[in-house]
Every structure is written in structure tokens, then in C-alpha cells.
Amino acid sequence: MRELLLLDGDAEEAGWQERALCAQTDPEAFFPEKGGSTREAKKVCLTCEVRGDCLEYALMNDERFGIWGGLSERERRKLKKRAV
């Protein structure tokens, strides 16, 4: 029973990803080459209804690459430092 509950929780957690606007756009925009522009990805994030869930996921899972919740890796690192 406990395993079933964990699986259900994982499914609920991942539900926000299905509603994310980035799932409907070019994934390469969210993982630009070093020094590449993040402008397009961040523009998509601005109007995304699950932006907060996305950022929370990235912070909790220590995502080191890409744009998550409208923030770059550097911006997420700064945010984490301020929270400590």
C-alpha cells in the first residue's frame, strides 16, 4: 500500500509538467549553449501557469542546467544563497 501511495504522489507531482508551456515549445530554448540567450525561454515562462511549481521542482532537485521557473542556473543559485 505504501508503494502505491508513493507512486500516486509522484504522478501528482509530475502533473504540473504536463500543463507547462515549455512542453509545447522547442526544448532547446530552455537549454541554451553556454553564453546563449535565455530570452525566449524566459518569455514563455512569464505566462506559464505552473511557473512556481517548476521553480520549486528545480530548487528541490538541484537542477543545474536550463531555465526552470523562469530562472537560469545562476539566478537559482543566487536565490538559494539568499534563502540560507
Residue 20 assigned to a binding site: no
Sorted by where each begins, the domain ranges of the chain are 2-83
User: What pTM was estimated for this model as a whole?
Assistant: 0.79
For 4-22, give one letter per residue: b (16+ CB within 10 A) or e.
Answer: eeeeeeeeeeeebeeebbb
Closest CA to 52 of 10, 8, 19: 19
Residue 50 assigned to a binding site: no
Residue 22 assigned to a binding site: yes
Closest CA to 50 of 13, 84, 2: 13
Question: Tens place of pLDDT for every residue, the chain, 84 residues?
Answer: 333 333 444 545 668 999 999 999 888 999 998 889 999 999 999 999 999 999 999 999 999 999 999 999 999 999 988 877
Residue 23 assigned to a binding site: no
